Structure 1
Amino acid sequence: MKRPQTVRSRGQRAGLDLDQIVETAQSFEVEDLTMQSLAKAMQVDRKALNYYVKDREALLTILAHKAFADEFSPDAIRAAEDWRDASRIYASSFVERALSLGKLSEHLWFGEPLTTWSLEANESLFARFFEAGFTDEAATRLVTMLSTLCLGHARDVIQATGSMEKPRPKALRAALERLNPEKFANLLRILDHGYDTYGDEQIDFSIDVFLVGAEAVLKRDLRR
């Protein structure tokens, strides 16, 4: 009597797994990576890749999260003096890792199950907030705020890299040149100051403001 054959998917028949796909995809420049070029490099049918990866956008998201998490160590966050120090370390590491992604940072999002690749650093930061007395709701909102702040800054810096004039001042200057300057005295004055909102001073200022706000939230919750 013959044994019934096990039905396998295209991806399983091809002997693929997600780690193999990611490893091969990492050898490509972002602009050269397509599902077809990846399939050719792996010597499989393009449809075989779809068992694990829906399309190019999903693949780039996987690569971004993997590259981001590989060196986002939780150790320094765990060893931090307190939640404030832990927040600064988290933010510094976050920005550094996001900047290292270059163009791939455009595909770094935090609404996907794939964030399991970077959970340890987040777990460590949540632990420091919990130890300090923050409620779970406050900690959730604060970590979300800090992550969003850091990712936005990193993308700003990447976008401005190599530009003679930074994107925001350039766009504002172009807009004001077409309008009545008397109506926008404050914007013109700010523009003339030429403050650098893409450097370390900007992210340091943002984290300082974040910590002041977080401190106020903690005091409010502890009084309840």
Structure 2
Amino acid sequence: MQESAAPRQRGRPRQITRERILSAARTLALDELTMQAVADVLGVDPKALNYHVGDRQALRELVAVDAFAVELSRIDMPTGGDWRDVLRRYATALRDATVKLGELVTYFRLPASGVGALEPVERVLQNLVDAGFTVEDASHILRLVSELGHAAGREAVFLSRSREHPYVAEVATALETAAAENFPVLRKVVAARDASLDDGQQLEFSLNAIIAGLETKLP
């Protein structure tokens, strides 16, 4: 007697992971980046994304962090170099990585996760410790320089949009309501700042000031 064939099992639904969500999101422009659009690329119901990504805001933040980590992982951070040069290179790389985010910059906040982004961080910390800084000081230095580089990148992105720094415009407007003889130095600063956009001079000045102060902490 011939045995009856076992009933064919239905295929299991495609598993959703953060990696697959990111892979799908990378194919979409920012103005198209929605939960529905990503779900359509993956061929699933949008509700299937909720476990990994809560809403559109969280989705865009996820994509921004991923894009930043990819850029940061490309840093060629030397080991054993002068700690001053390492800090300058790291801050510049952070600024450039932030600029690469473009419109995604409004959805990104430090720190960035991912092994690729952690490797240059580890090298910076190791370099500082090797130079004589304590682990605690190295941690504070890393945070300070990271925030500085990221802020410089965000400012560069904003300036690329308006070609006019919002803070300068606000101060200039406020000065118009004051008497002409008031705030003479501030007026010169605004005039000079408005005449030429920041081309990295502020980041360089800040780094020089930080490094000069840090040098006094070493034996």
TM-score of the superposed pair, with normalisation by structure 1: 0.83
For residue 68 of structure 1, what is the amino acid of its counterpart?
F
In terms of mean alpha carbon deviation, does 199-208 or 71-80 score higher?
Answer: 71-80
Which residue does 1:91 correspond to in 2?
Answer: 91
Kept in 2, the 8 Å contact 1:14–1:48? The answer is no
Which has the larger displacement, 153-162 or 175-184? 175-184
Identify if the C-alpha distance between structure 1 residues 28 and 109 changes in structure 2 by more than 3 Å, giving closer, same or farther.
same
Give, in whole Å, the separation in 1 of the partners of 2:16 and 2:216: 51
Paired residue for 2:48? 48
- What's the C-alpha RMSD, in Å, of the aligned pairs? 2.2
Secondary structure in structure 2 of the residue aligned to 1:28: coil
Amino acid at match of 1:39: A
User: Which amino acid is the alignment partner of residue 175 of structure 1?
Assistant: A
2:146 maps to: 147
* Cα distance, 1:15 vs structure 2: 1.3
Which moved further from structure 2: 148-157 or 33-42? 33-42
Q: Residue 3 of structure 1 corresponds to which residue in structure 2?
A: none
1:119-138 to structure 2, matched below 5 A, reads 119-138=118-137
CA distance in 2, matches of 1:111, 1:56: 20
TM-score (norm 2): 0.84
Distance 2:58 2:163 in 1: 33
The change in CA–CA distance for 1:34 and 1:73 in structure 2 (over 3 A counts) is closer
Q: Whose radius of gyration is greater, 1 or 2?
A: 2
- Contact 1:65-1:117 within 8 A present in 2 as well: no
Describe the SS at the equivalent of 2:146.
helix
Contact 1:80–1:86 (Cα < 8 Å) also in 2: no
Write the distance in 1 (CA, Å) between the matches of 2:177 and 2:200: 32
Q: Which residue number in structure 2 is paired with residue 182 of structure 1? A: 181
Name the residue aligned to 1:7: none
Counterpart of 2:81 in structure 1 is 81
Count of residue correspondences: 207
**Which runs of 5 or more structure 1 residues have no equivalent in the other structure?**
1-11
The offset of 1:124, in angstroms, is 0.8
Question: What is residue 191 of structure 1 aligned with on the other side?
Answer: 190
Deviates more, 1:186-195 or 1:71-80: 71-80
Preserved CA contact (<8 Å) 1:65 1:118 = no
Aligned-partner Cα distance in 2 for 1:74–1:86: 15
